[in-house]
Amino acid sequence: MAGNTYGTIFKLSTFGESHGVAIGGVIDGCPAGITLDLNEIQNELNRRKPGQSAIVTQRKEPDTVEFYSGIFEGVTTGTPIGFAIHNTNQKSHDYTHIKDSYRPSHADYVYDQKYGFRDYRGGGRSSARETASRVVAGAIAKQFVSSIKINAFVSQVGTLKLEKNYKDLDFSLIESNPVRCPDPSTAAKMEDYIKKIKKEGDTIGGIITCVIQNVPIGLGEPVFDKLHAELGKAMLSINAVKGFEYGSGFEGVTQKGSDHNDQYNADGTTKTNNSGGIQGGISNGMDIYFNVAFKPVATVIQPYETIDKEGNMIKTQGKGRHDPCVVPRAVPIVEAMAAIVLADFTLLNRTIKL
Amino acid sequence: MAGNTYGTIFKLSTFGESHGVAIGGVIDGCPAGITLDLNEIQNELNRRKPGQSAIVTQRKEPDTVEFYSGIFEGVTTGTPIGFAIHNTNQKSHDYTHIKDSYRPSHADYVYDQKYGFRDYRGGGRSSARETASRVVAGAIAKQFVSSIKINAFVSQVGTLKLEKNYKDLDFSLIESNPVRCPDPSTAAKMEDYIKKIKKEGDTIGGIITCVIQNVPIGLGEPVFDKLHAELGKAMLSINAVKGFEYGSGFEGVTQKGSDHNDQYNADGTTKTNNSGGIQGGISNGMDIYFNVAFKPVATVIQPYETIDKEGNMIKTQGKGRHDPCVVPRAVPIVEAMAAIVLADFTLLNRTIKL
Amino acid sequence: MAGNTYGTIFKLSTFGESHGVAIGGVIDGCPAGITLDLNEIQNELNRRKPGQSAIVTQRKEPDTVEFYSGIFEGVTTGTPIGFAIHNTNQKSHDYTHIKDSYRPSHADYVYDQKYGFRDYRGGGRSSARETASRVVAGAIAKQFVSSIKINAFVSQVGTLKLEKNYKDLDFSLIESNPVRCPDPSTAAKMEDYIKKIKKEGDTIGGIITCVIQNVPIGLGEPVFDKLHAELGKAMLSINAVKGFEYGSGFEGVTQKGSDHNDQYNADGTTKTNNSGGIQGGISNGMDIYFNVAFKPVATVIQPYETIDKEGNMIKTQGKGRHDPCVVPRAVPIVEAMAAIVLADFTLLNRTIKL
Amino acid sequence: MAGNTYGTIFKLSTFGESHGVAIGGVIDGCPAGITLDLNEIQNELNRRKPGQSAIVTQRKEPDTVEFYSGIFEGVTTGTPIGFAIHNTNQKSHDYTHIKDSYRPSHADYVYDQKYGFRDYRGGGRSSARETASRVVAGAIAKQFVSSIKINAFVSQVGTLKLEKNYKDLDFSLIESNPVRCPDPSTAAKMEDYIKKIKKEGDTIGGIITCVIQNVPIGLGEPVFDKLHAELGKAMLSINAVKGFEYGSGFEGVTQKGSDHNDQYNADGTTKTNNSGGIQGGISNGMDIYFNVAFKPVATVIQPYETIDKEGNMIKTQGKGRHDPCVVPRAVPIVEAMAAIVLADFTLLNRTIKL
């Protein structure tokens, strides 16, 4: 392990630096016999792509995925799916300002300390560009577990909160605005706020909520690989994520057991769902829902002081195109990682009973 | 995988049901040459043990660990450490009330659905009793990574919050009260509140904060096995946990990047620590700190309605000895899982540079 | 990884030294719902046990397995099966003769070099005593894949070969003699020869042949985890094994393709079976058969010269009870490892197709 | 797992079908700071390439490897190394003769049975073409463990044996002839024989011997991941391999312990080396040597009878360009897999002692 493989059966291994030749990966363990909609995969990539709206980075990357193997006449063969997305924009930058200095709250410093040196161009491996590979794998996972419905959306930007319960939202509106918030009036406020932040050369954090519906009972592998523990790890592995909670989450700590417990209906469903669809680490068939907290992007277009490799304090200036708020583009990444986790547990669950 | 192994190099595999013959595990990959303080291991178990104070369950279990292998003349040999804790109290109960019915917000129902049937005695494998095995492994891991200081404590019970920053706390006071809150006046309030909840036959949630100090730079394996992602998974795998956040966490989403960024000092340390000691998934040498949210225990000593195996609604009554609030006893479990994660990443980090 | 776990889904983790408190393990991933015959498990252990006949070591170990978890009312629960075999004979020996010196062709020297020191009593972890744990897991695996028939037997001792094809043998005779060779007249010669070797204080090597029948088509996970590659690894991991060949094996290299190819019958079976039941790493439904070569046991009851820890040449003398030939007792170990491999691939195969 | 990843720390995941767009892989866990000689990697690929001499298949594939990531300014960065080899020859064939029928002793039939259908073009994933990815990873592994010397060579073709001990051979002659046998007169005989076999439209098996010198003491992870067990698995995972033996191997079974034991010199080396450089699964610093048996290639240019998908017996004819004997081209593959195993154990060994 050097940390670039995810999953036990449905297993994704990724590679690639922000400004290397290409990023990509190998998906091993995808079952045979799935007719893949390749347009749908590209569509997911487009949701993550830079330059898609006025509130995201204006960098241009076509993000076209090429498949190398594992698909024959449009159907998965059960053999590994190799794929790559060539970087097209990687030679045009001037990186001298970050080559020998460490940007605050980026991974520059720790990569140098851990590995001895680093590919400094655009953040190298620590760039969120690698998540495009996750989106490819997630789009395939979604098509495998197609009966499960996964919808993520932006529920908070800075202090602007979407106050509605997810049951009162129309998920078909998620893609109707660049923020990916399914409540149009909240979305408009968020969009304005992000534009304002952008003008300041600053950035802001946010929360993505993910709702997973129509989940079969039985997914999750206690005691360590509980369904919510894997979902949590998968989400926390996404760039800029600082927190994860599911079901009643942090709010739930203030409740009494007698209020928090989800009472059963005769059919095994529950009257409330503080459990967030997971009990004892195993899906119980109710909706799974969770929140993922994203910090503000570290790249700000402002002057700042930092250190160089020799430990000298230097004055420098953030520059270039950047995302003022990461959550709109992170929505498909959250969905992708959720789909990968669900695909893996679906396959593991087949091995449980005689 | 059926989910009962944790770690890549420092690897813990556990077994055991709440009321079976014994619980225990195998620790593989613990380096050779560590002189173990066995009393210290037992001491950690005692911190988790039932019956230790008036605010925890009054069940009696001596929780004495026996080591079977991997330690020779008090020193680890590099071979697997097998251990067991015999259950002594397992034959005295009457479980007929849970044999054929499903307790709300417990794992009874999903275990039956997933595995076809279950060891219903005391919750079987889904009981938090299995965490005693984690505490044993964690106590060994702590002795391996002994230069790292791991301190967890209770920072919230219900709505009662410890409002101080961890830097203003004296960790030596954690064990001075049964709540394991290092602020005596807050601890007293929490203790009273838990006693009140207990009298009502009810339960309440809480938050544990964990602070890890003196961490070497470089722990963590991006892009999937980031340090905070593994810490998150490890914590979420503990019974009753509903959320995890590190550094600025959920609060951080409301900050601007210009405020949130941690500016460097000339020596590579940072002036602030919103990053929580982790950047890009790798420790940066600053303090790591995180919060873990625990829901209220599902067992309440009150009448309730639920379903039996045939799907009939039945009326029943919670009974027996239970924990009114899980966080005091969960403090050593949080520390144990943190130690296991740190031990594993310490070993993985040895493989990185030429 | 420190090498003490085997399998991906049906996963065995073992612990234990020859003269520690106990040996044992954890079996994770055994499916729920298997009614276990515990006598059958003990019976397999008895086949491996020392002291069972005049041609094996006369040491006394009852080798009684205790199960700690994962079995409820005689049926597997899908949770990990913890077990231990307590060592009863471990305090009676005098090990001073091997404490500070290295026995030739044993692992004493390399353990000291690799781990810094070792539990020298009876060979510690490097003793074949650990294979008792494998036999327990294998006996459970056999009951899971009960439709598959696994028969191993001794086919060579020194230069004494069983010249018959396995199809002309009556496997019910394997247990009819202490050598575990199903051809009574060859068995008698082998037995005499082993007795003669024993009298000389010497040891001799041998070959075990294993035949696996009624295997479903489709087991094996190319390209690395081919069925024969895992069988090979499993066999080579057994103490004293020096070689593995399946199907036509080493003999097959002298054949032409036109002779070696297995022509199909209309039903998908083949007219010959040089493939040994495996093509492209996947079982094809024909009989699997393979040979496993065991070197002569390194402990000889003769004077020899060797080195001590300080690198001095010393004269010493092999002593104690030992096996003059390991193959009779290794037969159940070969079967056990084969069963574990087949159980694991059976479970993995469930994840392949949509 | 679906079997396409090898290794624990130095971890190779491969993809690709014989006639898909490309083959390739991801190498995760290669340490940072290795200055790679890319020409040397391509040179290893050229040793495996079709069309290199008169005794191998005349197919043309340039087999040019492209690196996508993980190497910066010629040095490994510690991040995953993604690579691909585009197939250039993949559209020119007519595969109708194998689309609906099963070639004897190929994997066609079992792939259809296991996965439901297959990419039939050129054998798809079951083609030995995938081993080119192993050669790339092996060439990088070699450069990581550069102090270890790995030399494989052809030691038998059909019944033609190289009768010399490896110590009497000059490894610099291995590449001096197309057979890759370092004894020129034996090589000449083998070459003539292979040409004769080729003229007959037939094929023949062979043996590759591999010698690994200058191995540090301590590689290997008992009890399951013994050094020779992993080497065995790695070799058995190569297409057409039917057997593996190390040290005294199958011959050793006829020896007595008193003859077979390797007596120590005062410096810890041994006077003989029947152990093949490995004791108890751990390298002891002596030369490692092993033999790998390859069956005759299944594709013969002769008429044969077989079955089609519907189970009808059909008459057909082997055609096209093929290898009459696989061992000359398999020499670099054996070396590559050995290098990968050694690289992985080198990294694991760093985690053993405090």
Which subunits sit against B, judged by 3+ Cβ pairs under 8 A? A, C, D
Structure ipTM: 0.97
pLDDT confidence band for C348 (50 / 70 / 90): very high
Residue A354 placed within a domain? no
Of C165-169, C338-342, D313-317, minimum mean pLDDT range: D313-317
**Residue B90: predicted pLDDT:** 61
Chain C residues closer than 8 Å to B72 by CB: 17, 20, 117-119, 124
Domain housing A127: 5-349
pLDDT confidence band for D326 (50 / 70 / 90): very high
CB contact under 8 A, C351 and A9: yes
Cα–Cα distance measured from residue B293 to residue B6, given in angstroms and rounded to the nearest whole number? 21
Compare CB distances from B354 to D9, D32, D353 and report the shortest one's residue. Answer: D32
pLDDT digits (tens, 9 = 90+) for B42-67: 999 999 998 899 898 887 888 999 99
Residue C354 placed within a domain? no
- Give strand pairing partners of A209: A153, A291
Residue in chain D lying closest to A117 (CA): D77
Residue C28 placed within a domain? yes
Which of C57, C114, C315 would you mutate first to test chain D, the one with the most D CBs within 10 A?
C114
Q: Which residues contact B141 (CB under 8 A, 6 or more apart)?
A: B10, B30, B336, B339, B340, B342, B343
Q: What average pLDDT score do residues B313-333 get?
A: 91
Which of C131, C236, C246, C275 would you mutate first to test chain D, the one with the most D CBs within 10 A?
C236
Cα–Cα distance measured from residue A340 to residue B113, given in angstroms and rounded to the nearest whole number? 23
Cα–Cα distance measured from residue B112 to residue B98, given in angstroms and rounded to the nearest whole number? 12
pLDDT confidence band for D93 (50 / 70 / 90): low
CB contact under 8 A, C77 and B29: no
CA dihedral (A226, A229, A234, A235) in degrees, to 10, reads 140
**Residue C317: predicted pLDDT:** 86
pLDDT at B1 over 90: no
Residue located via tokens 């459970």: C140
Residue C164 placed within a domain? yes
- Give strand pairing partners of B206: B157, B294
**Residue D353: predicted pLDDT:** 82
Q: What average pLDDT score do residues C27-48 get?
A: 97
Give the closest residue to C227 by CA, choosing from C276, C299, C169: C276
**Residue C59: predicted pLDDT:** 79
**Tally of domains within chain A:** 1
The answer to the question of whether D141 is labelled as a binding residue is no
CB neighbours (10 Å) of residue A46? Answer: 14
**Residue D57: predicted pLDDT:** 87
Cα–Cα distance measured from residue D246 to residue D286, given in angstroms and rounded to the nearest whole number? 13
Cα–Cα distance measured from residue A168 to residue D247, given in angstroms and rounded to the nearest whole number? 71
Cα–Cα distance measured from residue B264 to residue A296, given in angstroms and rounded to the nearest whole number? 18
Residue in chain B lying closest to A284 (CA): B110
Mean pLDDT, rounded, of chain A: 95
pLDDT at B143 over 90: yes
Strand runs labelled E in D43-190: 65-67, 71-72, 75-76, 81-86, 149-157, 160-161
Give the closest residue to D339 by CA, choosing from D215, D241, D218: D215
pLDDT at D255 over 70: yes
Could you list the residues of A known to form a binding site for FMN, using ranges. Answer: 125-127, 239-240, 280, 295-299, 321
Q: Which residues contact C299 (CB under 8 A, 6 or more apart)?
A: C103, C106, C203, C318, C320, C322, D257
Which of the pair, C2 or B316, is modelled with greater confidence?
B316
pLDDT confidence band for C227 (50 / 70 / 90): very high
**Residue A94: predicted pLDDT:** 67
Q: Closest approach of chain D CAs to the CA of B275, in angstroms?
A: 23
**Residue A132: predicted pLDDT:** 98
Mean pLDDT, rounded, of chain B: 95
Using DSSP's 3-state secondary structure scheme, residue B89 falls into coil
Are B336 and B51 within 8 A, CB to CB?
no
Q: Closest approach of chain C CAs to the CA of B96, in angstroms?
A: 15
CATH of the domain at C51: 3.60.150.10
pLDDT confidence band for B92 (50 / 70 / 90): low
pLDDT confidence band for D95 (50 / 70 / 90): confident
**Residue A208: predicted pLDDT:** 98
CB contact under 8 A, D26 and A14: yes
Percent of chain D with pLDDT over 70: 98
Which of C258, C291, C334, C349 would you mutate first to test chain D, the one with the most D CBs within 10 A?
C258
pLDDT at C91 over 60: no
Compare CB distances from D31 to B9, B78, B353 and report the shortest one's residue. Answer: B353
Residue located via tokens 């624990």: D8
CB contact under 8 A, D352 and B8: no
CB contact under 8 A, B2 and A306: no
Are B287 and B161 within 8 A, CB to CB?
no
Compare CB distances from A221 to B1, B265, B284 and report the shortest one's residue. Answer: B1
Residue in chain D lying closest to C306 (CA): D264
Q: Closest approach of chain A CAs to the CA of B119, in angstroms?
A: 14
CB contact under 8 A, A33 and D115: yes
Angle, CA B180 vertex, CA A248 and CA B142 arms, to 5°? 95
**Residue D91: predicted pLDDT:** 56
Of A293-307, B12-26, B195-209, D82-96, minimum mean pLDDT range: D82-96
Q: What average pLDDT score do residues C42-63 get?
A: 90
pLDDT confidence band for A229 (50 / 70 / 90): very high
Phi, psi of C270 (to 5 degrees): -120, 150
Give D13's DSSP letter.
Answer: E
pLDDT at D1 over 70: no
pLDDT at A198 over 90: yes
pLDDT confidence band for D94 (50 / 70 / 90): low
Show the tokens assigned to D312.
């009808």
pLDDT digits (tens, 9 = 90+) for A2-35: 799 999 999 999 999 999 999 999 999 999 999 9
Chain D residues closer than 8 Å to A95 by CB: none
The answer to the question of whether C295 is labelled as a binding residue is yes
pLDDT digits (tens, 9 = 90+) for A110-157: 999 999 989 999 899 999 999 999 999 999 999 999 999 999 999 999
Chain C residues closer than 8 Å to D328 by CB: none
**Residue A93: predicted pLDDT:** 63
pLDDT at B333 over 90: yes
Cα–Cα distance measured from residue D255 to residue B267, given in angstroms and rounded to the nearest whole number? 65
Show the tokens assigned to D91.
């559209």
**Residue C2: predicted pLDDT:** 78
CB contact under 8 A, D33 and A117: yes
pLDDT digits (tens, 9 = 90+) for D171-211: 999 999 999 999 999 999 999 999 999 999 999 999 999 99
Residue B43 placed within a domain? yes
Give the highest mean pLDDT range of A300-309, B150-159, D117-126. Answer: B150-159
**Residue A87: predicted pLDDT:** 93
Q: Closest approach of chain C CAs to the CA of B139, in angstroms?
A: 19
pLDDT digits (tens, 9 = 90+) for D46-71: 999 988 998 988 878 889 999 999 99
**Residue D354: predicted pLDDT:** 78
pLDDT confidence band for B293 (50 / 70 / 90): very high
pLDDT digits (tens, 9 = 90+) for B216-254: 999 999 999 999 999 999 999 999 999 999 999 999 999
Query: Which residue blocks in A146-247 are alpha helix, DSSP H?
Result: 184-199, 227-236
Mean pLDDT, rounded, of chain D: 95
Compare CB distances from A351 to C9, C34, C354 and report the shortest one's residue. Answer: C9
pLDDT digits (tens, 9 = 90+) for C284-328: 999 999 999 999 999 999 999 999 988 899 998 887 778 999 999
Strand runs labelled E in chain D: 5-6, 11-15, 22-28, 65-67, 71-72, 75-76, 81-86, 149-157, 160-161, 206-213, 241-246, 278-279, 282-283, 288-294, 303-307, 313-317
CB neighbours (10 Å) of residue A64? Answer: 13
**Residue A90: predicted pLDDT:** 61
Angle, CA D279 vertex, CA D276 and CA D281 arms, to 5°? 105
Compare CB distances from A245 to B8, B206, B242 and report the shortest one's residue. Answer: B242
Q: Closest approach of chain D CAs to the CA of C22, in angstroms?
A: 16
CB contact under 8 A, A264 and B104: yes
Residue D354 placed within a domain? no
The answer to the question of whether B3 is labelled as a binding residue is no
Half-sphere exposure of D191 (CA within 13 A, CB side): 15
